[in-house]
Amino acid sequence: MSMLLTRKAEFSASHVCANPALNEAENRRIYGSAANPNGHGHNYVVEVTVEGETDPVTGMVFDLRELKEIMNREVIEPMDHRFLNREVAPFTTVVPTTENLAIEIWRRLKPCIDGANARLRNVRLYETTDLYVDYGGEV
């Protein structure tokens, strides 16, 4: 029977949600105040859920220390206290909406977590306490 393990981490970053091909009024209609050209920031919270079998020897689904290191290396260190649009690929060309950010976090974590006994199941990304997205790798 599979077990779900969820680990949480936080990072703070700034962004602008605007498509450079559109004018300011159009961007404001689509993204609201998130389109402010000079940017704004959030305290993002990411919850990473790993699914797997409990190892009969260790009693663990996934080594929590390793999961922490993967999340730190792939997500927190590159994104914490950064301006996503300027400093974090692919957001120099992709609009850093919460949806696109969750997809990118999934893309970074997936190859580091998936293995014989466990796999990445879900990324939940809170932009604020009142808005979050769940991404499970849907195409």
Partner 1 sequence: MKLTRRYRFAASHRLDVPSLNLEENRRLFGKCNNPYGHGHDYVVDVTVEGRPDESGQIVNRAALDDLVRERILTQIDHKNLNCDVTELRGVVPTTENLAEALKSMLVRDWPLAPRLSGVRISETDRNTFELRT
Which parts of this chain interact with partner 1 (CB under 8 A)?
17, 19, 30-32, 94-100, 102-103, 129-136, 138
Task: Choose between 61 and 120: whose C-beta lies nearer to partner 1.
Answer: 120
Q: By C-beta, is 6 or 115 nearer to partner 1?
A: 6
Single-letter amino acid, residue 18: A
Q: Residue 15 or residue 61: which is nearer to partner 1 going by CB?
A: 15
Terminal Cα-to-Cα distance of the chain (whole angstroms): 26
- Least distance to partner 1, CB of residue 112, Å: 21
> Where do runs of H (alpha helix) occur along 1-139?
24-31, 64-71, 77-79, 84-87, 98-113
Measured CA to CA, the distance from residue 97 to residue 28 in angstroms comes to: 14
66 to each of 7, 62, 73, 85, how far by Cα in Å? 11, 8, 10, 29
* CA neighbours closer than 13 Å in the CB half-sphere of residue 65: 0
- By beta-carbon proximity to partner 1, the closer residue of 3 and 131 is 131
